[in-house]
Amino acid sequence: QQPVQSPQAVILREGEDAVINCSSSKALYSVHWYRQKHGEAPVFLMILLKGGEQKGHEKISASFNEKKQQSSLYLTASQLSYSGTYFCGTEYGEGKLIFGQGTELSVKP
């Protein structure tokens, strides 16, 4: 039931865009996105509930495709501070998050 994230790793130059996908084989109730920097705690970014809504947080936004049981995280005009590992956490109506294996994002100057 662990969601599958893609890509596993991505390297960007400052100002470039990136998309991280999170796919589930089971019907989703909600998807949570977190960013974790090396040696630090995961930090909450946003929650998306089923219904296909899109949310934004500065230059980071996300969508939820209920048909595909997939969520995508969009990072636009990336900054050095965006570097870290991004995790999606999927929830299936039981109040329990199952995290993906993570996508490592490196933003270079």
Q: How far apart are CA 6 and CA 100, in angstroms?
A: 10
Using rule CB under 8 A, residue 43 touches another protein: yes
Using rule CB under 8 A, residue 42 touches another protein: yes
Among the residue ranges 10-18, 33-41, 62-70, 74-82, the one whose residues contact another protein (CB under 8 A): 33-41
Using rule CB under 8 A, residue 95 touches another protein: yes
Q: How far apart are CA 35 and CA 53, in angstroms?
A: 20
Q: How far apart are CA 70 and CA 88, in angstroms?
A: 10
**The binder of another protein chosen from 27, 53, 80, 101 (CB under 8 A):** 101
Q: Where are the alpha helices (DSSP H) in 4-101?
A: none
Nearest to another protein of 74, 99 (CB atom): 99
**The binder of another protein chosen from 79, 96, 106, 108 (CB under 8 A):** 96
Would you give the distance in Å from CA 12 to the centre of its chain? 16
CB 84 within 8 A of CB 26: no
For another protein, the binding residues (CB under 8 A) are 2, 29-30, 32, 34, 40-44, 47, 87, 89, 91, 94-102
